[in-house]
Structure formats: structure tokens, C-alpha cells
Copies of this chain bind each other. A is one copy, B any other.
């Protein structure tokens, strides 16, 4: 398969991809506006391609549709270090922006796993998360202003360069996470953050009971510890990481918690977090200056990929309900006789169940995924914590939204895109 035809979303390798009628590669907002106007006049479905790192299929082309590929809109237009703002074209790579601003003592806080390839526009359109959200929030929290091309080719400006703004509707946050359904983001002004000083500090805590691990996380989140990262691997994933890397990890019976603090309070924050872990019954707690132990988290995906094909699930529940969700996932896995492994951003309740795809049987994996979503929603959770809905979870929307709430979303979609040409049938 060529470019613009599939993204990182998990689909069978032999799936027959839809063939778009044309791919436009704009360099300016005006190019995008002209192209969209053409699609609007001819009622062509439009998909927006950025870096192809999406995990929900939201950027896949439509048969006979128009693809707008944003990768050449990749200029960093301005860095205003005093105002802590940068303005970029939507196709700028996340990591490139971050690298460009560090010389000012600032960084770009959103850091999804795909940041070396994903674009600012794509990560805004999907409200991308990542590992550092417990400290810095998601991408939404770093967007100041947007330039957006609407379905009819008109160009609007949302937000402002001010920290506070109580002027008109918050269109900025309406477009953040709208997954290409309301308009095409061509330019973004984003907030930069002062680089924390001091040495980071990391810790690992092993738990033989998932309830104990859950209590540890709740107490950490409520404590004065200022953690930047708070992650979890299940026991099997921990064992696989250890098998592959011989890091000397004690394999827990239930879960391994991995945390990091940065800034001048790092050691103090890790003190508090380790006390929480011990108090909740951790079987082993280990800590270390620097960010070395974070490697354990990053090695989990390669360890999984080496051992199978997985649908990477993505759901979220309130932090205190994580142990219940994990217990339900174990029940579902047992009932379905299906392997589900768990990695999670436990600090914000965002859980990625890894659902094995056996013998290319995607239907079973998808059914298990839907059952896990249903379980999460019963626990006050959401269909997607950070990957979005796209095409893969579109059928799940009625699990979360009642008719009136879905109707309100569709009314807004229709108001901004009356012909329904932008990413139709996706996200909402």
C-alpha cells in the first residue's frame, strides 16, 4: 500500500483500501480553502492526511474522495518566547516544534508516543495524549488559537494569543478533537512551557494485587507528589520486558507501576509516591535518579509486538475505578478465552487493553474490544481516552451518548458542514 492509503490504525494487511479520486498537497491556507471549496461544490467526501499516525482510522481516504495531505505545510511561522507562544502551519512535526523552542528555555508539552512523526494539526484534531498528561494535560490544554478552513471553503480564526479570553464561543476547543469533521486546521498558535529545572527521578513499584496497585495510584494522585508520568504494566507484560531486556525487574503477580517526577521537587515527589506505594502494600519499590527506569515503559510495546498482533484498545475511567475495570477485562478475557494484556496511563485513568488478534481473526478481537468499552462505560468511563473515534469506534458511540446528546453533536456538524463532506461517518 502506498502513502495516503492507510494510517497506523490496526486493519488486516490484506484489507482493500478505498481509492481517492485525488490527493491535494497544499502549502497555504488558501490552497486548502480552494480545494475544499471544490469538494463542497462537487459534494466529494474529504479526508485529511497528516502523518498517518492515527490509531482510529480517521484519516483514511474515501473511495472517489479528496485527500488533503498536510505534510508540506510544515513551517514554524513564529516563536514568541516572551509570550510563550509559537505559531506553526498544521503540518509541522510535534518533535520539530519542541526542538525549535528549547533554546528559549521552553518546550512543547504534548508528547504523544508518535511525536517524532505526528503533526501539530493531527494531534490537535485528535486531542492527542501521551505519557505526560498527568502533569501537563492533553494537547487541548496547549492550543491558544487556530486557523480553520470550513466545509464551504471559508476561513475562520478561533481563540487568541491571550491567556484568558471570555469573548464569544470557544470554537478552539470545539475543533480540538473533532477529528476532521468540522473543519481543516491549517495553522495553530500553541502555548509553550518553561523547561523544569533539576534532575528527574523515577521509581518502580511491584504489586501482587491489582486492588493494592489501584489504591497506591489513588493516593499518589491525591497527594502532594507532582508526578510527570504514572504508568502501569500488567504482570505478563512486565515479564516479557524482563525476558527481552534482563533489567532485573521483580516480576509482580499483578502489576508494575512506573513513575517519574521532574523539576526541583522531583526527589520529594518520588519520596511521597514511594510512601504511597509501600503503604498500599507494594511487594517491592525501587527508585533511581534520572529517567532511566522509564525505559521499562517504552520497552513494553516492542515486547508486545514481538509476541503477537494486537488491537490496541483505548479507554478511560475515573482513576479509582481502574481496578474494577481491570477485573472486568480479566473476566471478559476468560469468558472469551482470549488474551488481553494491559498497559495504562494509570495516573489519568487511561487504559490501553492490548487485544490479541489470533490467526487474522479481527472480528473476535473487535468484539472483545467492544465488550471492554461497554465495561468501561458502566464504570463511568469513555469509549476513547486519547486515540479518538475515527471509523473504528464509530459504532460504539450510542453506548456513551443518549439520543439528544448525539443529536446536538450532529446539529453542530450540520451547521458547519451542511453537505457533510468533511470526514463523513467518522468521529461523531
Contact = CB atoms under 8 A, between A and B. Distances in A.
Interface of A: 80-85, 105-106, 126-127, 129, 133-134, 138, 140-141, 150, 154-158, 160-171, 173-174, 176-178, 181-182, 194, 196-197, 218, 221-224, 263-265, 268, 314, 316-321, 345, 348-350, 380-389, 397, 400-402, 404-405, 407-409, 411-416, 427-428
A349 B350 CA distance: 34
A418 B385 CA distance: 32
B82 A160 contact: no
Nearest to A148: B408
A268 B201 CA distance: 20
A82 B385 contact: no
A163 B316 contact: yes
Contacts of A138: 164, 166
A222 to B, nearest CB: 6
Contact of A409 (B165, B169, B397, B409): B169
Nearest to A381: B162
A174 B177 contact: no
Given A140-B170, A218-B82, A382 B162 contact: yes
B411 A416 contact: yes
Most buried by B among A129, A161, A196, A385: A161
A222 B264 contact: no
Counted per complex, copies of this chain come to: 2
Contact of A320 (B83, B181, B384): B83
A385 B164 contact: yes
Contacts of A181: 169
A349 B162 contact: yes
Contacts of A389: 166-168
B82 A319 contact: yes
4 A-B pairs with the lowest CB-CB distances in the bound complex, closest first: A415-B415, A173-B173, A163-B348, A162-B316
Contacts of A402: 156-157
A384 B222 contact: no
A322 to B, nearest CB: 11
A424 to B, nearest CB: 15
27 contacts: A82-B319, A83-B319, A83-B320, A105-B222, A126-B166, A138-B166, A155-B404, A162-B316, A164-B382, A164-B386, A165-B382, A166-B387, A167-B383, A167-B400, A169-B409, A169-B412, A169-B413, A170-B176, A170-B177, A171-B405, A171-B408, A173-B174, A174-B412, A194-B222, A194-B223, A411-B416, A414-B415
A140 B143 CA distance: 14
Contacts of A386: 164, 166
A407 to B, nearest CB: 8
Nearest to A222: B194
Contacts of A268: 264
A415 B409 contact: no
